[in-house]
């Protein structure tokens, strides 16, 4: 290529960079016109657009000459279109044309990988294809940063009602020492959960749904939906908790606003014996419903409205905190309020130890109170004060950069609030007496400087802000679960991308109002705690599993994590749940388990590449390595059937396998355990039939699932059936998980088909199994094989002729484990020579079966195997079949000899020379005739007959072998022909 072959657009300008040989190149930018033009093209279509496709393209652009084409034509001229449609398809003028247009790592490819295209389904359903962009969030016009999107929502959710009107009470009840332990325990739990959350959230793009999205993609849709719905309920109930806190504070600040008469409780057993007023529960209910409705109108306004209102709620919170700390520092011993001592070391020592007391339902100490408090119950009361770390991840679809904002914002909010709680424990414990801590529910307002009313306003706004965050996150969580289309019952809550979940918001508001009607904070908080802890344990377990498996896709940007920390966080969550209440723990786990079971039964199937699939893969690899390639011990032997679905003849349309083959395959597995491989062969060229093979494989897999048969489907493209099966029998399976039994249908229709095709193929398959050392089970009478609902009576008769390692015996035992054959009995027929010791053989076989723990009746049949047929014997009904088979063999042999003499070649059959011993052929016919007569004599009413498979004679044509087999199976309606392989599948030893 000459120096003038590549030139920059316009020729002038210094915005490019120069190559080593002096030519100037202009870098391609994302907003480049060519990129914008190309990004609107369909990558899968031909890129051969004429010049009309680029109406604004400068005419002075020169193209890249690519040399002469394959037919020897000269280079295209400058005036030609850069892409020409050739007779052989679109030809792209590029040095990298060999790799194809879509293979180039260009800006178009990068744009497609970052999700700048139509949204794809988040999980493959109903046969949809999986793409690399599946599950990526759709860009939204409203994007939030770390401060407004994560930090402020988390702080608003954490700094709720518990801190303002319950925290000082907890310090008075548990003492400073145990409260520090309490805060450290709960703070450590949320801190470890934040680390796990940061690791998972930075492992890829996130859609809406927050923790549900993370848990579902890590632990599977069933676990994700069950924990996600519980977390939704926890958020809805938490909203009611915050609303009640705001209303209670308002009614105490403005007592005249109460509609009903306030409850007055006389405090006994304390130094401060004075009436304590608490609002009426009916006032809490009425005002709570009104506040919930007001907050719902704000939520209905959307994210923009929430973001405008949130700072108005948060600024008074920060101001109230400053006022509280100033009030603590300025409080003196001569404070006008009784019980406020100011910061005093003596007060700190007095309040260091715990003093658990009985209280009434409102938390006011009473000697005969109905509520008994201890450390465990305080954990349940306080833990909602540290929840809210998921508030930022709940808005993942609205964040500008989830992989930066979620870790930074969540951990900052967790650490700052935990530090504030620890400092507040010491300050509250040193500023007031224990009686004041236990009786003054608004101690924060009492000690605040300059005016308590300002603090009450701050408390009201802070709790309303936390309630707003709950009512904002819960509907989005429910809508995210519904949008994944796992549960059809949730379809009412689906929303389009970028739309507000109005129906989910209304449903959340109704739940919140229902909890408000309860009107008791201390009864609501344990319920909230359990749901939140269940979600946190799910996040920790997700990170633990992903980190422990360390799959190639596990590449989180947040590096400060370890599987041991996640495991510790999960265990800590479970310990806290049982510390709070084992009964609530059992109820919450039972609820999650019920949802899990419901999703498993009613939910739609989905594959999100969760960690459990990776764990199964790792377990399978480890198990495969531990099995090794050595021979499996008979005690550990499992049948691994290779079911050959290719029928001899045609099946109904859209039926990829004989319906009874799957039923028979299930009969070869005990209680459904074991692997079955269903294979079929597609004739043709692989490059031409690859897509047809994928479609056929998907159809076969669906059919196997429909037949409730555990197995996998494989479709092999080959020029013909013989070559395809030869490849399958050599390569199918891994290590000791290779199939050990080939199952196929007997070609009963071979006479109606091409005589030179089916016999040769059938015999070739048997010979391939013998060479590959595979056992063979051939089913004759497959159309009459019973399904699971058809009960069979009678016997299962085994004609044990050849030593097969016990395979025939084992198959009979497996048949007895199925409902269809459980009423049958086993009979074993041993065929012996006339001069054999029949009684000794019978005793040996009985002893052998006894040692194998198999119950069967044994018969020994002795007969003379001479070549003669006695007229009038019980085998007369088979004489016609014998005569016909003999005559067909004679005719076939005569035709072969005539052809060989005419062409001057050796005797040929099936494309290879054969040597036929006519006396041996006659002997084989008589042998099969006598065996058939014995089977008809003793097993005419048997439910199923099993007989040893005779190997095909090497020098006989396949046509002869088919005649032998037909004569052996004549008039037997249902029979299994079994050939073992050179391994024992049963053992006498324990």
- For residue 501, give the DSSP letter: -
Q: Which of 78-87, 559-568, 885-894 has the highest mean pLDDT?
A: 559-568
Q: What is the pLDDT of residues 893-907, one digit of tens each?
A: 888 888 888 887 777
Token pair listed for 868: 């003669």
Question: Which of 347-351, 368-372, 790-794 has the weakest average pLDDT?
Answer: 368-372
CA distance linking residue 377 with residue 375, whole number of Å: 6
CA distance linking residue 736 with residue 612, whole number of Å: 24
Instruction: List, in order, residues 6 or more apart from 930 with CB less than 8 Å away.
Output: 863, 865, 875
- For residue 551, give the DSSP letter: -
Confidence band (pLDDT; 50, 70, 90) for 857? Answer: confident
Element (H, E) at 717: strand 712-718
Q: At CB < 8 A and 24+ separation, what contacts does 305-309 make?
A: 306/468, 306/472, 307/144, 307/148, 309/468
Question: Which of 7-21, 667-681, 726-740, 875-889 has the weakest average pLDDT?
Answer: 7-21
CA distance linking residue 611 with residue 543, whole number of Å: 9
List, as one string, the DSSP characters of 527-550. HHHHHHHHHHHHHHHHHHHHHHHT
> What pLDDT is recorded for position 138?
47
Q: Where are the beta strands (DSSP E) in 338-397?
A: 358-359, 371-372
Helix-strand-coil percent breakdown of the chain, rounded to 5? 55, 10, 35
**Sign, Cα dihedral of 128, 129, 135, 140:** negative
Confidence band (pLDDT; 50, 70, 90) for 334? Answer: low
- For residue 150, give the DSSP letter: I
Radius of gyration of the chain (CA): 40
Question: Rounded to 5 degrees, what are φ and ψ at 210?
Answer: 55, -125
Token pair listed for 585: 């723990």
> What pLDDT is recorded for position 583?
85
Q: What is the pLDDT of residues 575-614, one digit of tens each?
A: 999 988 888 888 888 888 898 888 888 777 666 666 677 7
Q: Where are the beta strands (DSSP E) in 726-821?
A: 741-745, 775-780, 795-800
Token pair listed for 490: 């949730």
Look at residue 569 and tell me whether its pLDDT is greater than 90. Answer: yes
**Helix, strand, or coil here: 405?**
helix
Give the end-to-end CA distance of the chain in Å, rounded to a whole number.
Answer: 79
**Cα 327 vs. chain centroid, distance in angstroms?**
54
Look at residue 6 and tell me whether its pLDDT is greater than 60. Answer: no
637: left (phi over 0), alpha (psi -120 to 50) or beta: beta
> What pLDDT is recorded for position 542?
87
Q: What is the pLDDT of residues 467-520, one digit of tens each?
A: 888 888 888 889 888 888 888 888 889 888 777 888 999 999 998 888 888 766
> What pLDDT is recorded for position 448?
84
Compare 976 and 281 and report the one with higher pLDDT.
976
Look at residue 381 and tell me whether its pLDDT is greater than 80. Answer: yes
Q: Which of 400-404, 575-579, 669-673, 731-735 has the highest mean pLDDT?
A: 575-579
Q: What angle do CA 92, 97, 101 make, to 5 degrees?
A: 70
Is residue 663 within 8 A of residue 629, CB to CB? The reply is no
Q: What percent of the chain lies above the pLDDT cut of 90?
A: 10
Q: What is the pLDDT of residues 31-58, one digit of tens each?
A: 444 334 434 444 444 333 333 343 444 4
CA distance linking residue 949 with residue 928, whole number of Å: 11
Is residue 391 within 8 A of residue 151, CB to CB? The reply is no
CA distances from 837 to 44, 800, 828, 849, 864 (A): 77, 16, 17, 18, 14
Q: For each of the domains in the chain, give its residue range(s) and CATH number, in order of start.
A: 147-600 (1.20.1740.10), 631-779 (3.40.50.620), 793-989 (3.40.50)
Q: Work out the average pLDDT over 803-831.
A: 84
Compare 463 and 205 and report the one with higher pLDDT.
463
Confidence band (pLDDT; 50, 70, 90) for 672? Answer: low
Q: What angle do CA 230, 234, 235 make, to 5 degrees?
A: 120
Query: 47: burial class by Cβ within 10 Å (0-12, 13-18, 19+)?
Result: middle
CA distance linking residue 824 with residue 344, whole number of Å: 89
CB atoms within 10 A of CB 627: 14
Q: What residue has token string 């915005």? A: 15
CA distance linking residue 401 with residue 386, whole number of Å: 25
CA distances from 919 to 223, 818, 914, 959 (A): 71, 45, 15, 17
Kindly state the greatest CA–CA separation across the chain.
132
Is residue 165 within 8 A of residue 442, CB to CB? The reply is yes
Q: What residue has token string 């014995």? A: 934
Q: Average pLDDT over the chain, rounded to whole?
A: 76
CA distance linking residue 66 with residue 772, whole number of Å: 53
Token pair listed for 584: 């609530």
- For residue 351, give the DSSP letter: T
Look at residue 863 and tell me whether its pLDDT is greater than 80. Answer: no
Angle between helices 958-968 and 918-938 (to 10 degrees): 20
Question: Rounded to 5 degrees, what are φ and ψ at 679?
Answer: -125, 150
For residue 717, the cross-strand partners are 682
Look at residue 629 and tell me whether its pLDDT is greater than 70. Answer: no
Is residue 604 within 8 A of residue 486, CB to CB? The reply is yes
> What pLDDT is recorded for position 536?
92
**Helix, strand, or coil here: 805?**
coil
Instruction: List, in order, residues 6 or more apart from 711 with CB less than 8 Å away.
Output: 643, 665, 675, 676, 677, 678, 704
**Cα 906 vs. chain centroid, distance in angstroms?**
62
Q: What is the pLDDT of residues 677-719, one digit of tens each?
A: 899 888 889 888 889 889 889 988 888 888 888 888 898 999 9
Q: What angle do CA 776, 779, 783 make, to 5 degrees?
A: 155
> What pLDDT is recorded for position 142?
56
Q: Work out the average pLDDT over 950-960.
A: 85
List, as one string, the DSSP characters of 413-442. HHHHHHHHHHHHHHHHHHHB-HHHHHH-TT
| Closest alpha carbon to 929 in 891, 971, 974, 973 | 971
Compare 426 and 210 and report the one with higher pLDDT.
426
Question: Rounded to 5 degrees, what are φ and ψ at 831?
Answer: -90, 125
CA distances from 122 to 104, 127, 129, 140, 933 (A): 26, 13, 11, 17, 63
**Sign, Cα dihedral of 77, 83, 84, 86:** positive
CA distance linking residue 419 with residue 470, whole number of Å: 23
Confidence band (pLDDT; 50, 70, 90) for 972? Answer: confident
Q: What residue has token string 């130890």? A: 353
Look at residue 425 and tell me whether its pLDDT is greater than 80. Answer: yes
> What pLDDT is recorded for position 24?
42
CB atoms within 10 A of CB 480: 28
> What pLDDT is recorded for position 264?
54
CB atoms within 10 A of CB 842: 16
Report H helices in 732-806: 758-771
CA distance linking residue 416 with residue 469, whole number of Å: 19
> What pLDDT is recorded for position 520?
65
CA distance linking residue 437 with residue 443, whole number of Å: 7
CA distance linking residue 348 with residue 431, whole number of Å: 8
Query: 197: burial class by Cβ within 10 Å (0-12, 13-18, 19+)?
Result: buried
Token pair listed for 451: 């005016």
Is residue 561 within 8 A of residue 543, CB to CB? The reply is yes
Q: What is the pLDDT of residues 138-177, one digit of tens each?
A: 444 457 788 888 888 888 778 777 888 789 999 999 999 9
């Amino acid at each position: 290529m000459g120096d003038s072959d590549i030139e920059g657009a316009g020729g002038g300008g210094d915005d490019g960079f120069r190559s080593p040989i002096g030519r100037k190149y202009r870098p391609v930018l994302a907003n480049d016109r060519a990129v914008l033009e190309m990004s609107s093209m369909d990558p899968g279509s031909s890129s051969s657009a004429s010049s009309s496709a680029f109406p604004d393209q400068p005419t002075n652009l020169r193209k890249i000459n690519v040399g002469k084409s394959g037919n020897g034509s000269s280079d295209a001229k400058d005036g030609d279109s850069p892409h020409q449609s050739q007779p052989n398809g679109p030809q792209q003028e590029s040095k990298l044309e060999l790799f194809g247009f879509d293979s180039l790592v260009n800006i178009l490819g990068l744009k497609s990988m970052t999700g700048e295209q139509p949204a794809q389904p988040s999980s493959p359903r109903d046969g949809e294809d999986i793409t690399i962009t599946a599950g990526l969030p759709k860009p939204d016009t409203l994007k939030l940063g770390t401060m407004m999107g994560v930090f402020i929502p988390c702080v608003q959710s954490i700094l709720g009602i518990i801190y303002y009107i319950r925290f000082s009470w907890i310090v008075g009840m548990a003492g400073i020492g145990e409260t520090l332990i309490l805060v450290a325990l709960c703070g450590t739990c949320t801190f470890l959960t934040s680390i796990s959350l940061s690791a998972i959230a930075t492992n890829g793009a996130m859609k809406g749904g927050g923790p549900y999205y993370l848990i579902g993609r890590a632990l599977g849709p069933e676990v994700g939906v069950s924990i996600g719905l519980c977390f939704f309920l926890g958020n809805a109930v938490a909203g009611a908790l915050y609303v009640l806190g705001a209303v209670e504070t308002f009614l105490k600040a403005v007592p005249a606003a109460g509609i009903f008469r306030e409850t007055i409780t006389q405090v006994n057993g304390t130094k401060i014996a004075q009436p304590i007023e608490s609002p009426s529960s009916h006032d809490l209910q009425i005002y709570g419903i009104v506040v919930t409705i007001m907050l719902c109108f704000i939520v209905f306004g959307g994210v923009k409205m929430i973001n405008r209102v949130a700072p108005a709620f948060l600024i008074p919170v920060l101001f109230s905190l400053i006022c509280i700390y100033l009030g603590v520092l300025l409080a003196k011993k001569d404070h006008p309020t009784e019980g406020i001592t100011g910061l005093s070391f003596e007060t700190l020592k007095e309040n260091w130890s715990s003093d658990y007391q009985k209280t009434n339902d409102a938390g006011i100490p009473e000697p005969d109170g109905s509520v008994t408090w201890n450390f465990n119950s305080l954990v349940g009361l306080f833990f909602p004060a540290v929840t809210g770390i998921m508030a930022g991840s709940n808005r993942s679809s609205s964040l500008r950069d989830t992989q930066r904002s979620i870790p930074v914002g969540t951990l900052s909010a967790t650490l700052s609030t935990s530090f504030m709680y620890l400092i507040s424990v010491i300050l509250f414990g040193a500023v007031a007496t224990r009686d004041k801590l236990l009786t003054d529910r608004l101690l924060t307002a009492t000690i605040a400087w300059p005016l308590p009313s300002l603090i009450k306003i701050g408390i009201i706004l802070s709790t309303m802000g936390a309630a707003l965050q709950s009512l904002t996150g819960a509907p989005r969580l429910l809508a995210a679960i519904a949008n994944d289309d796992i549960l059809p019952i949730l379809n009412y809550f689906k929303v389009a991308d970028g739309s507000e979940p109005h129906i989910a918001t209304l449903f959340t508001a109704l739940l919140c109002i229902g909890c408000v009607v309860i009107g008791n904070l201390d009864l609501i908080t344990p319920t909230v705690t359990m749901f939140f802890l269940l979600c946190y344990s799910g996040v920790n377990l997700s990170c633990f599993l992903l980190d422990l498996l360390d799959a190639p896709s596990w590449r989180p940007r947040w590096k400060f994590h370890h599987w041991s920390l996640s495991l510790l966080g999960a265990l800590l969550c479970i310990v806290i749940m049982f510390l709070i209440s084992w009964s609530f723990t059992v109820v919450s786990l039972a609820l999650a388990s019920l949802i899990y079971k419901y999703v498993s039964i009613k939910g739609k199937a989905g594959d999100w590449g969760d960690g459990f699939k990776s764990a199964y893969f790792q377990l399978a690899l480890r198990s495969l390595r531990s099995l090794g390639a050595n021979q499996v011990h008979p005690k550990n032997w499992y049948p691994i059937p290779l079911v050959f679905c290719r029928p001899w003849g045609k099946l109904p349309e859209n039926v990829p396998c004989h319906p009874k083959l799957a039923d028979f395959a299930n009969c070869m597995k005990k209680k459904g355990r074991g692997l079955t491989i269903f294979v079929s062969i597609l004739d043709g060229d692989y490059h031409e039939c690859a897509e047809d093979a994928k479609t056929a494989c998907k159809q076969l897999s669906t059919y196997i699932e429909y037949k409730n048969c555990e197995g996998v489907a494989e479709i092999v493209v080959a020029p013909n059936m013989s070559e395809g099966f030869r490849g399958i029998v050599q390569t199918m399976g891994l290590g000791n998980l290779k199939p050990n039994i080939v199952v196929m249908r007997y070609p009963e229709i071979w006479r109606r088909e091409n005589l030179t095709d089916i016999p040769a193929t059938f015999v070739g398959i048997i010979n391939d199994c013998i060479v590959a050392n595979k056992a063979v089970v051939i089913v004759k009478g497959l159309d009459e094989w019973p399904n699971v609902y058809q009960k069979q009576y009678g016997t299962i008769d085994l004609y044990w002729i050849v030593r097969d390692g016990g395979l025939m015996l084992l198959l009979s035992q497996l048949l007895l484990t199925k409902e269809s054959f459980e009423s049958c009995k086993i009979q074993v027929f041993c065929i012996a020579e006339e001069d054999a010791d029949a009684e000794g053989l019978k005793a040996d076989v009985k002893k052998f079966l006894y040692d194998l723990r198999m119950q069967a009746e044994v018969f020994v049949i002795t007969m003379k195997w001479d070549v003669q047929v006695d007229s009038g014997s019980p085998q007369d009904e088979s004489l016609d079949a014998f005569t016909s088979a003999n005559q067909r063999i004679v005719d076939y042999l005569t035709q072969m000899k005539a052809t060989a003499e005419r062409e001057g070649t050796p005797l040929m059959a099936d494309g290879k020379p054969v040597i036929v011993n006519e006396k041996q052929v006659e002997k084989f016919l008589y042998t099969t005739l006598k065996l058939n007569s014995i089977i008809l004599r003793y097993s005419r009413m048997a439910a199923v007959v099993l007989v040893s498979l005779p190997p095909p004679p090497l020098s006989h044509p396949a046509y002869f072998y088919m005649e032998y087999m037909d004569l052996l199976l004549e008039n037997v309606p249902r029979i299994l022909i079994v050939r073992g392989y050179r391994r024992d599948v049963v053992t006498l030893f324990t």
